[in-house]
């Protein structure tokens, strides 16, 4: 029978099943003229059994928000600079050792930073089918006395219109409205590019900034001499013609700017659309008259005139008549008068309709939620479609309020998000395909975290349930 080895990576955490390592991040300033340094990593066995540990040296880079430990030939890697007396450790119960690593720095290295990782691998449970290996990772970042430079290049930029030319995979991911901005960024500098700033999409045909996309140093990361692809969804019907994609921000205290000129060709889409933010407008009903603020934005390259309403005479949306130039937004508000209606316990949900002489699409199908009376939040979950490397988790909202949740895997070592946060209306069901093998270990460590929509924390937890055929 084929044996499956499960490798569990642990980084930025010292919580472990048996051993602990410290520090998990080694950031070291290298003095001018230094050719050799020593690094000490403490390894401790807190378990009542002997711990056998294998040590490996590897590359370390981040691409977007992914950690990579094997990138082939890379001039900024310290993998081949590291040596030690032994790469096999035996720790008695309660024993703690200082593990010494020597780094021989090449005389011809000219970068401002260099990177690597040390892996302390310990075998865990073992069956006829599974063998678990716990991988505790200590990262090493070297800072050299060299001026950092951030020479960023947008080597490619494309805009994909989801209403016409998009691939099936993009439509499945984002839907059939809006556009996707695809970028390839190259770091021609000598240090990590981690940008806090924004990406602006500017139409030169109408001389307007269509949108600004926030960039954060947690996710917009490019290591030196690397190329990384990024993808951003924008909920706009874009005009055809000349555009500029501009990047502007700060990385490691230095200003970073770059731009790329592109041309969006083809026939102008006929779709027009409006965005209401937030798209779920939650109003707890506690007084006779309740109000809520909203933003209303034109997502289209043409001027629009319309009005908004629901099927309830107790709800009014202002302004009563709305006029918006291309891509502009205004403030609006909603008024609810409880004297003209009665509500059920829980979330009373009213769809917003748009009235206009032309067809206008309301992005994300916005709703007004009047929350009243006794509230319940609960769900049922079960597993279906178990295959070799995937299975599905089905979730149904059995409460009377909108449910917000996510599915996680949690064990003594770490927590992994199987899904992003999602929203379920009362009695609504969703199926989530999980890219993992299904077994007893996964069954007993996979949970749904959930809450009432609008609450701050996912404070309720439930195991995913049994398999149903």
What would the pLDDT profile of 324-344 be if each residue is shown by its tens digit? 999 999 999 999 999 988 999
pLDDT per position as a tens digit, 231-242: 999 999 888 999
Of the candidates 233, 229, 239, the one whose C-alpha atom is nearest the C-alpha of residue 206 is 239
Structure tokens at 405: 């949740």
pTM of the model: 0.79
Task: Quick: pLDDT tens for 342-370.
Answer: 999 999 999 999 999 999 999 999 999 99
* Confidence at 154, pLDDT banded by 50, 70, 90: very high
Beta bridge partners of 280: 367
Measured CA angle at 41 (ends 38, 47), to 5 deg: 155
pLDDT-above-90 percentage for the chain: 72
Q: Which CATH class is domain 4-143?
A: mainly beta
Answer whether 427's CB lies under 8 Å from 376's CB: no
Return the number of other C-beta atoms located less than 10 Å from residue 226's C-beta. Answer: 19
Based on its alpha-carbon atoms, the radius of gyration of the chain, rounded to whole angstroms, reads: 27
pLDDT at 2: 37
Residues in the chain: 469
CA dihedral 452, 457, 460, 465 (to 10 degrees): 90
Q: Is 338 helix (H, G, I), strand (E, B) or coil?
A: helix
Highest-confidence segment of 230-239, 365-374, 410-419: 365-374
Instruction: Average the pLDDT over each of 63-67, 122-126, 206-210 and give the range with the smallest value.
Output: 122-126
Query: What DSSP line would sit under 107-128, residue for residue?
Result: TT---SEEEEEEEEEEEEEE-S
State yes or no: pLDDT of 190 exceeds 80.
yes
Would you state the pLDDT for residue 311? 94
Contacts of 297 (CB under 8 A, 6+ apart): 274, 275, 277, 324, 327, 328, 329, 330
Residue whose C-alpha is closest to residue 152's, from 215, 243, 110, 106: 215
* Cα separations in angstroms, 438 against 2, 5, 417, 434, 445: 16, 14, 16, 9, 11
Q: Which of 124-138, 182-196, 264-278, 436-450 shows the highest mean pLDDT?
A: 182-196
Please report the pLDDT score of residue 132 as a whole number: 67
Topology annotation, domain 379-463: Immunoglobulin-like (2.60.40)
Report the CATH superfamily, name and number, of domain 273-372: Immunoglobulins (2.60.40.10)
Per-residue pLDDT at 297 exceeds 80: yes
Question: What dotted CATH number matches 152-264?
Answer: 2.60.40.10
Phi first, then psi, for residue 173 (nearest 5°) are -80, -40
pLDDT of residue 469: 76
Residue written as tokens 């030690």?
84
By the 10 Å C-beta count (0-12 exposed, 13-18 middle, 19+ buried), 457 is classed as exposed
Every domain of the chain with CATH number 2.60.40.10 lies at: 4-143, 152-264, 273-372
Q: Are 420 and 426 in contact (CB under 8 A)?
A: no
- Roughly how many angstroms between the first and final C-alpha of the chain, as a whole number? 26
The per-residue pLDDT for range 24-67, each reduced to its tens digit, is 999 999 998 889 999 999 999 988 888 999 999 999 999 876 88
Over range 357-385, report the average pLDDT.
94
C-alpha pair distances (Å), 431 with each of 291, 393, 395, 465, 469: 35, 6, 6, 14, 14
**Local structure of residue 30 (DSSP, 8 states):** P
Please report which confidence band the pLDDT of residue 435 belongs to, taking 50, 70 and 90 as the band edges: confident
């Amino acid at each position: 029978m084929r044996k499956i080895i499960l490798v569990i990576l642990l980084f930025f955490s010292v919580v472990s099943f048996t051993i602990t390592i410290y520090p998990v991040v080694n950031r070291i300033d290298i003095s001018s003229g230094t050719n050799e340094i020593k690094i000490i990593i403490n390894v401790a066995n807190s378990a009542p059994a002997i711990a056998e540990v294998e040590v490996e040296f590897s590359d370390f880079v981040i691409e977007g928000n992914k950690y990579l430990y094997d990138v082939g030939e890379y001039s900024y890697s310290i993998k081949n600079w590291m040596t030690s007396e032994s790469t096999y450790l035996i720790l008695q119960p309660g024993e703690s050792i200082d593990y010494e690593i020597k780094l021989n720095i090449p005389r011809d290295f000219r970068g401002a930073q260099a990177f690597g990782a040390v892996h302390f691998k310990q075998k865990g449970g073992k069956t006829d089918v599974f063998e678990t290996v716990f991988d505790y990772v200590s990262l090493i970042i070297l800072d050299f006395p060299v001026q950092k430079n951030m020479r960023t290049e947008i080597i490619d930029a494309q805009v994909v219109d989801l209403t016409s030319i998009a691939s099936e995979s993009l439509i499945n991911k984002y839907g059939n409205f809006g556009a996707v901005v695809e970028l390839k960024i190259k770091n021609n500098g000598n240090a990590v590019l981690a940008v806090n700033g924004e990406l602006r999409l500017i139409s030169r045909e109408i001389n307007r900034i269509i949108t600004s996309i926030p960039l954060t140093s947690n996710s917009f990361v490019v290591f030196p001499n690397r190329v990384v692809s990024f993808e951003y969804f924008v909920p706009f019907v874009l005009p055809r013609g000349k555009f500029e994609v501009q990047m502007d921000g700060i990385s490691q205290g230095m200003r970073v700017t770059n731009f790329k000129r592109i041309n969006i060709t083809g026939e102008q889409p006929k779709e027009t659309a409006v965005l209401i933010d937030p798209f779920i407008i939650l109003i707890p009903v506690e007084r006779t008259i309740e109000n809520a603020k909203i933003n209303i934005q034109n997502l289209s390259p043409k001027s629009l005139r319309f009005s908004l309403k629901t099927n309830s005479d107790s709800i009014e949306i202002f302004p009563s008549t709305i006029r918006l130039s291309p891509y502009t937004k205004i403030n609006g508000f909603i008024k609810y008068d409880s004297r003209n209606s009665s509500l059920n316990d829980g979330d009373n949900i009213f769809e917003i309709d748009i009235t206009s002489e032309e067809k206008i699409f309301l992005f994300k199908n916005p709703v007004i939620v009047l929350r009243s009376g006794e509230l319940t939040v609960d769900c049922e979950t079960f597993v279906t479609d178990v295959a070799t490397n995937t299975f599905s988790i089905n979730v149904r909202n059995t409460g009377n309020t909108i449910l917000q949740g996510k599915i996680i895997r949690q064990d003594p070592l770490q927590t992994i998000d199987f899904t992003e946060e999602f929203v379920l209306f009362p009695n609504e069901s969703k199926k989530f395909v999980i890219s993992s093998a299904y077994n007893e270990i996964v069954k007993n460590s996979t949970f749904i975290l959930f809450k009432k929509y609008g609450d701050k924390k996912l404070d309720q937890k439930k195991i995913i349930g049994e398999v149903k055929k």
